[in-house]
Amino acid sequence: MIEQKRELVTEIPGPESLARLNRKKAYVADGVGTMLPVFVTAAGGGVLVDVDGNSLIDLGSGIAVTTVGNSAPAVVRNVQAQVEAFTHTCFMITPYDAYVDVCEQLAELTPGDHAKKTALFNSGAEAVENAVKIARVATGRDAVAVFDHAYHGRTNLTMAMTAKNMPYKQGFGPFAGEVYRAPMSYPLRDGLSGEEAAARAIDHLDKQVGAGNLACVAIEPILGEGGFVVPAPGFLPALSRWCTDHGIVFVADEIQSGFCRTGDWFACDDEGVIPDLITTAKGMAGGLPLSAVTGRADLMDSVHAGGLGGTYGGNPVACAAALGAIEEMRTHDLTGRARAIGAMMTERLENLRGEHPVIADIRGRGAMMAIELCAPGTTEPDAARTAAVSAACHRAGVVTLTCGTWGNVFRFLPPLSIGDDLLHEAFDVVTEAFATTGG
Ligand SMILES: Cc1ncc(COP(=O)(O)O)c(C=O)c1O
């Protein structure tokens, strides 16, 4: 394990990173952005080490991917063994155990004890696309309901399902049809109870689409890119009940919130919501690309043979990594660790809010926490302050991520392998960044 410390030996980014940034500009398409251009040479525990020898604290986990930490021992062990055995056969041509093992794990871990089956893919967006395909075949209906502030990916169908225009959709249309957007529960901004917000969304869908036309309702149980909004209690259960009553497939997109991140295996567990289909990716495979649609066996089996798949879906190395990551989660009680990290972050953020009224909301669950910045006493988004604090954190060697429809939300997603001291040091830096950016 690399040394667990924050240490800056140059400015951030340092000269070696800046030199590489010029190469990036020459060879990598400008459309592929980079938030913090330090070129990484090693990572593990709670730190990232760059080419200049700086050691930064990681509060982002590569956007909620390295939940078990970078190069977690069981992931490395499994991946090494798998690459030496074989790297690819294509599961659709000649199968292998690791794929089936991952599907078995998903049947056991995802909410509900009904019969479940899984299909594996590469990216989160691909999983969401396939969940819609399955829901359409199973119901014989076309319409897909999504929510304000949703993020489901960057492929054509998932762009249509994603809410935010810039940078995800601008200029990339026309988008897929039969995608309808409903109002999300957003306690800071709508002041509605979960039941009231669900009634509003249901009425909207009923009147504008018609329950009988909906193949599925797809929702992130805690919004990801949209700002880590936690719907008011009761919202998800009411929505799920309505779906069941009308034969609509309830799809929980747990690509960001799943696999221990929120202090449960899945965010749906908190209110006992049992989705018909659940999409997973990110934290599942410790950094390797793997995604899944898991759900009711009858729905999953409604698709004709050959209708689901892809060349690389469920690649053996990615499956081996996932089995290692799940082993790490079980062995080290990472749901418990996420809850402990969540308690620490909440306390630090509560203290910060006491000093800075620009923090309008603290929300999230477990190791998926966020603060929303607004002009004091209002819900007017303060993206400028968010950017200033973020830049100050980066200069001081802490990798923080922002999100939200208005770009005014900090999201904290530390790897669950981070130590308490390092986590506190990171929040000392965040606290200092608020103090030095005024307000
Ligand atoms: C909730 C959610 N769904 C889907 C996606 C898309 O995943 P990917 O980037 O792997 O395609 C993301 C990615 O951030 C996500 O957070």
Mean pLDDT across the chain: 98
The CB of 127 under 6 Å from ligand 1? The reply is no
**Which pLDDT belongs to residue 297?**
98
Query: Given ligand 1 and candidates 120, 149, 151, which is best to mutate, with the most ligand atoms within 8 Å of its CB?
Result: 151
Dihedral, 40, 44, 47, 49 alpha carbons, nearest 10: -30
Residue 122 alpha carbon, nearest atom of ligand 1: 10
- 151 CB under 6 A from ligand 1? yes
Find out whether the beta carbon of 153 lies less than 6 Å from any atom of ligand 1. Answer: yes
How many of the other CB atoms lie within 10 Å of CB of 320? 29
Indicate if the pLDDT at residue 224 is higher than 90: yes
- Give me ligand 1 centre to Cα 130, in Å: 13
pLDDT the model gives residue 1: 82
Q: What mean pLDDT do residues 187-191 have?
A: 98
- pTM given for the model: 0.98
In the block, tokens 């398409």 appear at 29
Amino acid identity of residue 410, one-letter, is: F
Q: Which atom of ligand 1 is nearest to the CA of 155?
A: 11
181: CA distance to ligand 1 center in Å? 18
Residue 339 confidence (pLDDT)? 98
Nearest ligand 1 atom to the CA of 224 is 16
438 confidence band (pLDDT: 50, 70, 90): confident
Q: Whose Cα sits closest to atom 7 in ligand 1? A: 124
3-state secondary structure the chain: CCCCCCECCCCCCCHHHHHHHHHHHHHCCCCCCCCCCCCEEEEECCEEEECCCCEEEECCHHHHCCCCCCCCHHHHHHHHHHHHHCCCCCCCCCCCHHHHHHHHHHHHHCCCCCCEEEEEECCHHHHHHHHHHHHHHHHCCCEEEEECCCCCCCCHHHHHHCCCCCCCCCCCCCCCCCEEEECCCCHHHHCCCHHHHHHHHHHHHHHHCCHHHEEEEEECCCCCCCCCCCCCCCHHHHHHHHHHHCCCEEEEECCCCCCCCCCCCCHHHHHCCCCCEEEECHHHHCCCCCEEEEEEHHHHCCCCCCCCCCCCCCCHHHHHHHHHHHHHHHHCCHHHHHHHHHHHHHHHHHHHHHHCCCEEEEEEECCEEEEEEECCCCCCECHHHHHHHHHHHHHCCEECEEECCCCCEEEECCCCCCCHHHHHHHHHHHHHHHHHCCC
User: What is the pLDDT confidence band of residue 439, given thresholds at 50, 70 and 90?
Assistant: low
Tens digits of residue pLDDT in 251-274: 999 999 999 999 999 999 999 999
Mutate to test the pocket of ligand 1, among 32, 152, 220 (most ligand atoms within 8 A of CB): 152
Q: Which of 354, 369, 360 is nearest to 410 (CA)?
A: 369
Pocket lining: 129 vs ligand 1, CB cutoff 6 Å: no
Provide mean pLDDT across the span 94-112.
98
For the chain, percent of residues with pLDDT exceeding 90: 99
334-355 helix and 316-331 helix, angle to the nearest 10 degrees? 70
Atom of ligand 1 nearest to the CA of 63: 14
Spacing, Cα 105 to ligand 1 middle (Å): 21
Is the CB–ligand 1 distance for residue 223 below 6 Å?
no
Residue to mutate (ligand 1; options 121, 146, 157, 255; most atoms within 8 A of CB)? 255
Q: What's the average model confidence in pLDDT over 76-87?
A: 98
Closest to 132 measured CA to CA, from 115, 148, 119: 119
pLDDT reported for residue 261: 98
Average pLDDT over residues 58-71: 98
Ligand 1 centre to CA of 390 (Å) is: 22
Tokens of 87: 């790297």
Per-residue pLDDT reduced to its tens digit, 322-334: 999 999 999 999 9
355 CA to centre of ligand 1 in angstroms: 34
